[in-house]
Each structure stands twice: as C-alpha cells, then as structure tokens.
C-alpha cells in the first residue's frame, strides 16, 4: 500500500479518535456555555491548562524516547521489554512523587500562577489528573507508533464516554459548576491509567536498568525545554488573561480557541498517522517514497489551510450556534486562532526530519525556544492593551515563527525538499480568506454564505495550482484512494 493510502486510512481512524480524546471540551461547549457561568467556564479553562502543564513536566519527554527507540528495539523483544519497563517505571515514580508534593504544598507553590483561585477542590482535581496522564499519553503514543489503530480507538472511545457522561451528569444534573468537568477528566484519565497498566503488564519488565535509562534520557532530556516551552506557549495566553483581566476574559478566548482548535484536532490526527509513515520513508531512503512524501506534505498543508479558512470565514455562525450570543465577541478571534493551528500543521510536516536524525532533538529545542520567547513577549505586551485579541494575534505569530524556524533549521538535513515557498503563500492566502467574515458581514445571510463558499472553492483551486500547477490534484488522489478501496472491497 502506498504511503498516501496508508496515511488516508490511519488518519480517518485518528481523526475520529482525536475528536473523542481531545475534543470533549469542544463537543460539550454548547452545554458548558449554557449551564456554566462565564467565571466557572474560565476557572475550568485555567485549571485544565495547569493540569496539562504539570503532566508535561512530570513526563520529562520520556514518551518521545519510547516512540523513537521502539524502532531500534522492535527486532529485539527482550531488549524492548527491558527498555519500556525501565522508562515507564521511572515515569511512574516521578509522577507519584511530584504529584504528592503538589497535593500537600500546591496551594503555596502554585499561587503565583493561579492568583486567588481556590486550591480545593479545583486545583487539587487538576493535580490528581496530571499524576495519571503521563502514562496514558505514553501508552497511546506506543499504540500509535505500532499502528495499532483499533486498540487506540477503543481506549479513546472509553475515555470520551466516561468524560462526557460524568461531565453532563455533574454540570447539568448536579449543578457542580467548574468542578464538574474537572472531575470528569480525572475519572476518565484514571480509568485509562488502569487500562494502560493492565495492557502493559505482560509486555514490559518493570524495574530500573541504568543503561536503558541513560539511553532514554539522552534522547528525552534535550526535548524537555522544547516540551516546557511548547506548553508555556499554549498556556501563557489564558493564564495572563486570567491574571490581568479575570477568568471571564480567559473563558471568552477559550471559546475561540476551542472552535479554532478543531483544526488542532485535525492536525494532530494527521500527524499521528504521518509520523510512522515519514519515519519509515526516511529510514528506507528510497527516492520514490521521498517524492511521495513531498506530495503528501503538500496535501496536508492544503487541507490545513482550507480548514482554517473555512472555520475563520464562518466564525460568527459557529460561535452563535455552539456558544450562544453571550460569546459572540469571540468570533473575531476565530480566524487568528484557526490559521495559527494551520501553521502548527506546517510545523508538524517540517519537524519530523529533526526527530529522525540523531542529535536533531537539540535543534527542535532551539526552534521551540525562539517561538516560545516570541509568544511570551507578545502576550505580555499585547494582552494588557488588546485583551483576548492580543492573545490570538500572539498565538498566530508564534506558530508561524515555529514553522519557519523548523523549515530553516531542518533544511540542511532534509532529503525530501518540501515546497517551502508554496507553504508560506498557502498560509498567507488562508489568513486573507479566513478574515472574509469582516468584509461580508453587511450582506444578507443567504448571499453571505454563498460568497464564503465561493471564495473557499477559489482558494482550493488556487492552492492546487500553487503546489502542482493543476486545479484538482488533491481531488484526483482522493478519487484514486476511493477507487482502490472500492476495488479491494469488491
């Protein structure tokens, strides 16, 4: 099966599972917007971010070492069992020790970040979830690397069902406020933690092997600043909005972030399918595979830009339907957030070579640091004067800089030779089309929708010409994929 067809098959599965796994907040946005106060929604937003940041810190990027060295040890079952067991054992000990420290002293340690927000129960629930999350993330990454998409999908469905059921019950039926969705995340994460332990029990040898741990740390430690800076990038905006303006402003921005974040789910889904395909193509180093990988990268960039442009253009309609008129001010933020995540998708395409090349992770850290410093600086400068709009603009700039940095740094290692200029122009066109909501707002509803659809069709044709000089290259490949699937099923 060609790598484009493999990407299409696996992406379809990962898209559904990512919607279930990461899209709970988006799917429940209509309920949260109607049953939570704006302050409660802001509290839930901020604690969720803090919990994710703590999980990233506890993990020490060891999930990346598990993914990378699976390829090295897959022909050595005993070595793989020892390596995985050592890495996971250390991770569990680290999470347990740091989690207990924060549960006992977190009210003091985390007060500079959370200002006046109550530690009990809100922050404590978030800390508890962060203890379980690293192992869950690592196990799901391992399933992704092994392309065990069915098991990945089952676990994601389980997490979604538990999280949704508990959230709806606590928010709607019990009126638990911000504690409801936080408790839902804790219950779902703890359940997947237990399932991960049970599944790994016979496949890894728990214990600590110093040589294996040294190998894991040589790979993971250079990624720790990258992970931290990446987490700061996605956290600083809402933490500053909460600290400088209040949880209501953080909640307003979160509405735009969730709607534009549909694209984040899409880019993450595609990247999960793309990573093993790209790693194998780079490992085999056959020119045919590398050429196909270049076309695949262009298909991905066009898809990301089209989705960003569509979400941005229909921002007002999406906010009104999903979050009610109370949050309509968020619609002007949606185009900036959506295109920022399209730029993040371009980053995923370009960064893979640095994860493959030995020693390349240090370059990833440098690129992320540049982007992170830009994000922090712009947020500190713009949020006090522009509020949520300053946060959205900072997000866009930082993601574009991250993608450009990866393209520049990775160029000397790259064997694929991506269409770099086309990537940049594609993002520029997406920004223009995403902001068409402002130009078309005075038209009647029917004509406005027709005009937006027409502009999106023209963008699709233009992007295909930009990358291949043909009006429907992507459509031709999709048609070929469907014909192959139809023939194989017949």
Provide the token pair at 48.
């969720």
Distance CA 409, CA 352 (A): 12
Q: Do residues 44 and 72 share a domain?
A: yes
Q: Do residues 487 and 397 share a domain?
A: yes
Check residue 24 and give its pLDDT: 77
Q: For residue 248, is it within any domain?
A: yes
Q: Do residues 249 and 105 share a domain?
A: no
Q: Do residues 217 and 146 share a domain?
A: yes
Q: Do residues 134 and 252 share a domain?
A: no
Q: Do residues 309 and 162 share a domain?
A: no
Q: For residue 31, is it within any domain?
A: no
Of residues 9 and 39, more confidently modeled: 39
The domain boundary, picked from 202, 221, 240, lies at 221
Token look-up 């393209």 returns 407
Q: What is the mean pLDDT of residues 328-346?
A: 95
Q: Do residues 317 and 266 share a domain?
A: yes
Q: Do residues 247 and 114 share a domain?
A: no
Q: Do residues 320 and 410 share a domain?
A: yes
Domain count, the chain: 2
Q: For residue 74, is it within any domain?
A: yes
Name which of 403, 471, 463 is nearest 432 in CA terms.
Answer: 463
The domain boundary, picked from 188, 221, 254, lies at 221
Cβ atoms < 10 Å from Cβ of 330: 27
Q: For residue 5, is it within any domain?
A: yes
**Is pLDDT above 80 for 109?**
yes
Q: What is the mean pLDDT of residues 181-195?
A: 95
Digit-coded pLDDT (tens) for 61-106: 999 899 888 888 888 888 889 999 999 999 999 999 999 999 999 8
Q: What is the mean pLDDT of residues 291-313?
A: 92
Give the residue numbers spanning the domain of 286.
1-22+222-490
What is the enclosing helix (H) or strand (E) of 62? helix 62-73
Q: For residue 163, is it within any domain?
A: yes
Of residues 127 and 276, more confidently modeled: 127
Cβ atoms < 10 Å from Cβ of 198: 9
Name which of 238, 280, 283 is nearest 256 in CA terms.
Answer: 238
Overall residue count recorded for the chain in this entry: 490
The domain boundary, picked from 221, 249, 265, lies at 221
Q: Do residues 422 and 381 share a domain?
A: yes
Q: Do residues 211 and 298 share a domain?
A: no
Check residue 2 and give its pLDDT: 53
Cβ atoms < 10 Å from Cβ of 108: 9
**Is pLDDT above 70 for 366?**
yes
Q: For residue 380, is it within any domain?
A: yes
Check residue 422 and give its pLDDT: 95
Q: Do residues 204 and 258 share a domain?
A: no
């Amino acid at each position: 099966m060609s790598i484009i067809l493999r990407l299409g098959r696996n992406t379809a599965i990962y898209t559904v599972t990512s919607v279930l796994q990461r899209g709970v907040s988006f799917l429940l946005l209509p309920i949260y917007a109607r049953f939570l106060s704006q302050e409660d929604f802001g509290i839930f937003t901020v604690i969720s971010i803090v919990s994710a940041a703590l999980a990233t810190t506890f993990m020490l990027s060891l999930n990346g070492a598990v993914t990378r060295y699976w390829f090295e040890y897959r022909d050595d079952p005993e070595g793989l069992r020892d390596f995985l067991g050592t890495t996971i054992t250390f991770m569990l000990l680290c999470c347990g020790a740091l989690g207990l420290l924060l549960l006992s002293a977190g009210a003091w340690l985390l007060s500079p970040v959370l200002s006046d927000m109550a530690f009990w129960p809100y922050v404590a629930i978030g800390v508890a979830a962060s203890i379980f999350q690293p192992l869950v993330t690592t196990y799901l990454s391992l399933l992704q690397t092994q392309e065990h998409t069915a098991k990945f999908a089952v676990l994601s469905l389980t997490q979604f069902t538990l999280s949704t059921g508990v959230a709806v019950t606590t928010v709607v039926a019990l009126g638990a406020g911000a504690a409801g969705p936080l408790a839902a995340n804790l219950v779902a994460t703890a359940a997947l933690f237990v399932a991960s332990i049970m599944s790994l029990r016979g496949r890894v040898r728990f214990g600590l092997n110093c040589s294996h741990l040294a190998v894991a740390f040589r790979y993971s430690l250079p990624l720790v600043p990258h992970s931290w800076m990446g987490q700061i990038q996605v956290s600083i905006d809402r933490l500053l909005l909460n600290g400088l303006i209040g949880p209501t402003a953080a909640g307003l921005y979160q509405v735009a972030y969730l709607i534009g974040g549909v694209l984040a789910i899409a880019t993450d889904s595609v990247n999960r399918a793309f990573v093993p395909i790209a790693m194998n193509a780079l490992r085999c180093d056959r020119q045919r595979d590398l050429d196909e990988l270049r076309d695949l990268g262009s298909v991905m960039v066009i898809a990301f830009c089209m989705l960003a442009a569509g979400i941005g253009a229909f921002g007002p309609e999406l906010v009104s339907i999903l979050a009610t008129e109370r949050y309509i001010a968020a619609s002007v933020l949606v185009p900036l957030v959506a295109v920022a995540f399209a730029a993040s998708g371009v980053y995923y395409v370009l960064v893979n070579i640095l994860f493959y090349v030995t020693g390349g992770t240090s370059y990833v850290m440098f690129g992320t640091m540049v982007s992170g410093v830009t994000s922090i600086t712009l947020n500190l400068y713009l949020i006090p004067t522009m509020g949520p709009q300053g946060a959205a603009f900072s997000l866009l700039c930082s993601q574009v800089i991250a993608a450009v940095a990866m393209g520049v740094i990775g160029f000397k290692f790259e064997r694929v030779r991506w269409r770099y200029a086309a990537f940049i122009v594609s993002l520029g066109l997406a920004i223009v089309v995403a902001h068409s909501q402002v130009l078309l707002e005075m038209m009647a509803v029917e004509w406005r929708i027709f005009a937006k659809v027409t502009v999106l069709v023209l963008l699709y044709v233009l992007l295909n010409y930009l990358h291949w000089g043909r009006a429907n290259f992507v459509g031709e490949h999709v048609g070929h994929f469907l014909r192959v699937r139809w023939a194989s099923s017949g």
